[in-house]
Amino acid sequence: MESSEPEGRGELLIQHPPTPLAVENVSKPPRRSYRGRIIGAAAVLLLLGGASAAVAIWSYNQNAPVRAVEQFLAALADGDLKTLKSLVHTEADASLLTQEVLDASLELAPIRTIDVANENGVIMAAFSVGDTDVSRTFDVKRNGEGWLITDALTAVPAYGGFTGASVQINGTPLPEGDTVVFPGRYQISLGSDYFAFYGDTEFTLTSDADVTQMQQTKVVLSEKGVKTFAELVSTSLGECLAMTGTSTPCGIGVDLAKVRGTFTEGSAQRTLAPEDQAALGNLPVILLHGELTTVRVAQGLSVDLTFRSQDGDDQWEYTSQSYLLWPQVDFAADPIQLSWVQ
């Protein structure tokens, strides 16, 4: 019997189960806590706040000098002496930094139209003193926690120790040395009828450069002073020329060492030269520097002198011509004094 294998018989197929996929263990990042987020945000805010504060401080420091000048000019316009003095400093004579002088200045010319700006670190100010427009810079320095304006005051020169005639500025006697004033309008006057000013007497002083204008004004004898001076010189000279002895207060004495024999008492005759006699009522005068209340004749006066001497029966007559001493008058003295000087 013939055996046969069933159809389809062949190799045995064995199927293996599928290999499982490998899965990596990827850990998730930890979640930030709510508290951490708050701390981070706070740090950012602190950084931003610090930067803002730094900007604010820088801006404040940049604008503080401007505010100091604005405060100074506003106080000047209001006549606020206390505030003005708190913003300035000076080593000079401050006797004109008074309420009376300040009030008189504002009465002459009020301060208006104030505009202050910081232009590249330079403090520029524009304001008006009466009808005068002013534009100038101010130098502002830190002083502890505050600020000082170092060049706010204007120097005023002394009139050479002119005390007897009493130069006054806004009604207050001017000190003998250099002094300072606040910016403003100022008027000078004299407390003596014997003197007057030649030139302007009212000035706008807002910086040291303005003082040049003031220095051009000169002190001279007034009409009353000229008349008084001429009368005093004429009277004293008349008394001097009338003397017949060897010496006089005005000079033109007799040099006895050069005289033969003995001087004849009462023989001296002194005569003013005709040209000087004619000019006696209109003599040019000078005010002595540093002592302006003293006035001196600016030209010499010539005198002819004649006298006699004798020795027994011998007699001699002498003639000469020389100049008088210089007559000068001190108007500060009480009473006014005339003297003759070399």
pTM of the model: 0.70
The H or E element spanning position 341 is: strand 337-341
Note the pLDDT of residue 33: 55
pLDDT digits (tens, 9 = 90+) for 208-258: 889 888 888 888 889 999 899 999 999 999 999 999 999 999 999 999 999
Q: What is the dihedral of CA 136, 141, 146, 151, to 10 degrees?
A: -40
The H or E element spanning position 106 is: helix 99-108
Domain with residue 205: its CATH number is 3.10.450
Structural domain boundaries, residue 77: 65-221
* Same domain? 168 vs 270: no
Alpha carbon distance 24, 19 (integer Å): 16
- Sign, CA dihedral 256-261-267-270, equals negative
Q: Evaluate whether residue 44 is within a structural domain.
A: no
pLDDT digits (tens, 9 = 90+) for 118-153: 999 899 999 999 999 999 999 999 988 789 999 999
pLDDT digits (tens, 9 = 90+) for 38-62: 555 545 445 544 444 443 344 445 5
* Same domain? 287 vs 335: yes
* Same domain? 89 vs 206: yes
Q: Evaluate whether residue 20 is within a structural domain.
A: no
Alpha carbon distance 284, 298 (integer Å): 5
Q: How many domains does the chain have?
A: 2
Alpha carbon distance 328, 335 (integer Å): 14
What's the token pair of residue 287? 């005010």
- Last residue of one domain, picked from the residues 221, 249, 284: 221
